[in-house]
Amino acid sequence: MPLEQAGMDDVDKVGGKNASLGEMLHELSGKGIRVPSGFIVTAESYRLFIREAGLEKFIRSSLKGIVGGDLRSLESVSAEIRARIKSAPIPFLLQQEIIAGYRGMEKEYGKNIDVAIRSSATAEDLPDASFAGEHDTYLGVRGHEDVVRSVKSCFASLFTARAIS
């Protein structure tokens, strides 16, 4: 989804960070201020990836297997979930959408541009909970293969030990 299409009504689809950036693009672009564009991998795309990779049950049962305050258990479960996510194939159509988003940016800014891959969790900045800084950010990502790989790594970072503890 192009960043320009996101707004505050889309938090459940694109997360708080993306919704705010989309809103900022609308506001500032209308005032003649140039703001870099981007694209969004939606929450539904993440769910599709997890579902198509057959990871839903595995993740759910793994998280239930964490024993109280046992740090080793937490680290082990976290590492296993992240490894499975990183090794799972991304559905072809989702991969093509990510590549199309990156190519759109290349058309605007030049071939093989560096981009940032960041999380924008749909519950990231709730009034009673904050997950800001919990998930990994990938800077200087260049080329569509690295972009797709970094999106998967960003998905996996939802399950770092610090994020699930």
In this predicted model, what pLDDT tens digit does every residue of 75-105 receive, in sequence order?
999 999 999 999 999 999 999 999 999 999 9
Q: What is the mean pLDDT of residues 108-120?
A: 92
What is the model's pTM? 0.84
Where helices occur in 30-157 by DSSP H, the ranges are 43-52, 56-64, 71-87, 92-109, 144-156
Q: Is residue 143 part of a domain?
A: yes
Does any domain span residue 4? no
Domain that holds residue 114: 43-164
* 23 in a structural domain: no
How far apart, in whole angstroms, are the C-alpha atoms of residue 95 and residue 13? 18
The answer to whether position 25 is within a domain reads no
Residue 51 has pLDDT above 70, yes or no: yes
Q: Does 19 map to a domain?
A: no
The reported pLDDT for the residue numbered 133 is: 55
Per the domain annotation, does 128 fall within a domain?
yes
Q: With cut-offs at 50, 70 and 90, classify the pLDDT of residue 3.
A: confident
Nearest to 151 by CA among 54, 24, 50, 7: 50
Tell me, yes or no, whether 51 lies in a domain: yes
Residue 29 within any structural domain of the chain: no
Question: How far is residue 108's CA from residue 34's CA, in Å, rounded to a whole number?
Answer: 13
The sign of the torsion formed by the CA atoms of 9, 49, 71, 73 equals positive
Q: What percentage of residues in the chain have a pLDDT greater than 70?
A: 93
| Number of structural domains found in the chain | 1
